[in-house]
Structure 1
């Protein structure tokens, strides 16, 4: 007998596409779900021996516990990383709308196939739209195609879920969108690894939490310190010397 953990919040797919009235999902929660899922996939790719390729990454295979902590599930299409050509699968498995185009052409499941599928999950988190819309015109049925076209003409905001449209969050949203675009690159070798995706999501989260934690180049730092210097001098007598080369970044004298 297998005893599974109780998952009161069902799947990410259900949470996104079958939302009850008044039950919105904040951007912070969406970010946390994305990061949890990315770290789980990165663990499969880099911390297991041999590596494991999930093969069917999608919102329906991401479970959410009572705290909306994401848990990647369903390994029916998973494989151990092949060590030679003979070990590659010859039958494409997965879910339409999430499948890596390169995998469909070559029948070779790789770690970058999971990256592509995860990119589609990021789109669901940003837009709350179905991955395939069979009621739309043929050229607009695929969410990934619509997204890439929107990014090309700077109309990504038209696809965003209204629940997360906010001027204050737009920088964070666009960074996630840019990451999704990188994951959806048609060439697998040009996509980031799942470890890089997880690290970038962590950086984006810290950008929102600690905006001063962003890396600045020396010219930007000097400009910021000059502004501080002039503001202080304008209000107080005496002088302030800012020495960029000293061990202490700011030396104050009287």
Structure 2
């Protein structure tokens, strides 16, 4: 294990440390899986961490990848999961993150949908605001960091349901080696599917879908495979938004706030993306 020169907060871990910490990548340690890799719960020097196995990367690109990770680990924001280090002694890079002890926004939405947990409108909009602020911060850096897979499963919830954006590190690999589209069905910007060139605007679209989920407690696709975005845009055009909303948050006192949030979501979903709201504007409005 060694510290990267000039960055005391970034550690290069040895292969054996990672294997021991994950019990040789035991399936019992898996806490998350997705298109960008598998996440394991691990303990290193008595501290619980999250280790993500990314996609494989060419040997010639590893040093460039390390330099990008050093930049990522300097990101210091309350609502962004902190990157602590990596291990490049496997074919697939291992990223080491702080461990967030709670659920994801996806799990919270599922609990709300099943009526096993009530999430107030205020809490929903606070989570949205914290997430938007985190994304806006990533885009405002001298070398902007794009996400590419914005969805509820990648927004972790710490103590007090504080939002923490995760899963942005592996995107530095995909930007250079991409042969298939990034993202998750239901959240992918139609503009992105035309050229496969990731922009901040694509992430804004995905965030708009999340905002719809928070307002409606519906999934991105219905059982009939009708998209939530198309149902929402029809409801906005026909003046029937209230029929789409989650009844748990609808009352006379909250409708003005809900209407404002719905207008903002609509601005996130505009196609083409050149006329879409920026994430900074979204964060400010929320």
**TM-score, with structure 2 as normaliser:** 0.63
1:146 and 2:231 equivalent?
yes
Change (3 A) 1:23 1:168: same
Distance 1:97 1:194, change over 3 A: same
Q: Secondary structure at the match of 2:164?
A: strand
Aligned residue for 1:175, secondary structure, equals helix
Deviation at 1:7, TM superposition (A): 3.7
Look up the match of 2:164.
71
Q: CA separation in 2, counterparts of 1:89 and 1:116? A: 20
Q: Is the alpha carbon distance of 1:167 and 1:77 closer, same or farther for their aligned partners in structure 2, counting shifts above 3 Å?
A: farther
The aligned counterpart of 2:118 is 24
Deviations 1:202-247 (A, max 9, x none): xxxxxxxxxxxxxxxxxxxxxxxxxxxxxxxxxxxxxxxxxxxxxx
- 1:69-105 per-position Cα deviation (integer Å, ceiling 9, x unaligned): 101111266249x8xxxx7955311100000000011
1:110 aligned to which of 180, 196, 199: 199
Is the Cα contact below 8 Å between 2:208 and 2:265 reproduced in 1? yes
Distance in 2 between the 1:152 and 1:37 partners?
27
Structure 2 residue aligned with 1:45, among 126, 130, 139? Answer: 139
Deviations 1:9-41 (A, max 9, x none): 411111012336452000110011000000000
Q: Which has the higher strand share?
A: 2
Q: Which of 200, 211, 219 is equivalent to 1:130?
A: 219
* CA–CA distance in structure 2, aligned partners of residues 88 and 49 of structure 1: 23
Distance 2:250 2:115 in 1: 18
- Work out the number of aligned pairs and report it: 192
Distance of 1:101 and 1:190 partners within structure 2 = 14
Which of 261, 277, 281 aligns to 1:192? It is 277
TM-fit CA distance, 1:63: 0.7
Where 1:63 maps in the other structure, the secondary structure is strand
2:188 to 76, 93, 99: 99
Deviations for 1:146-202, whole angstroms, at most 9, x for unmatched residues?
Answer: 10111000111111111100110100000000000000001111011110100011x
Q: Contact 2:146/2:168 (CA < 8 Å) preserved in 1? A: no
Residue 220 of structure 2: SS of its match in structure 1?
A: coil
Structure 2's unaligned 5+ residue stretches are: 1-17, 19-41, 43-48, 51-97
Counterpart contact for 2:217–2:246, Cα < 8 Å: yes
Instruction: Find the partner of 2:130 among 36, 43, 49.
Output: 36
- Contact 2:111-2:117 within 8 A present in 1 as well: no
CA contact (8 A) 1:88 1:109 kept: no
Residue 149 to residue 99, structure 1, CA distance change in 2 (3 Å): same
Shift of 1:8: 4.3
> What's the counterpart of residue 209 of structure 1?
none
- Asked whether the 8 Å contact 1:103–1:113 carries over to 2, the reply is yes
Distance 1:154 1:34 in 2: 24
- Give the TM-score normalised by structure 1: 0.70
Of 178, 185, 198, the residue aligned with 2:263 is 178
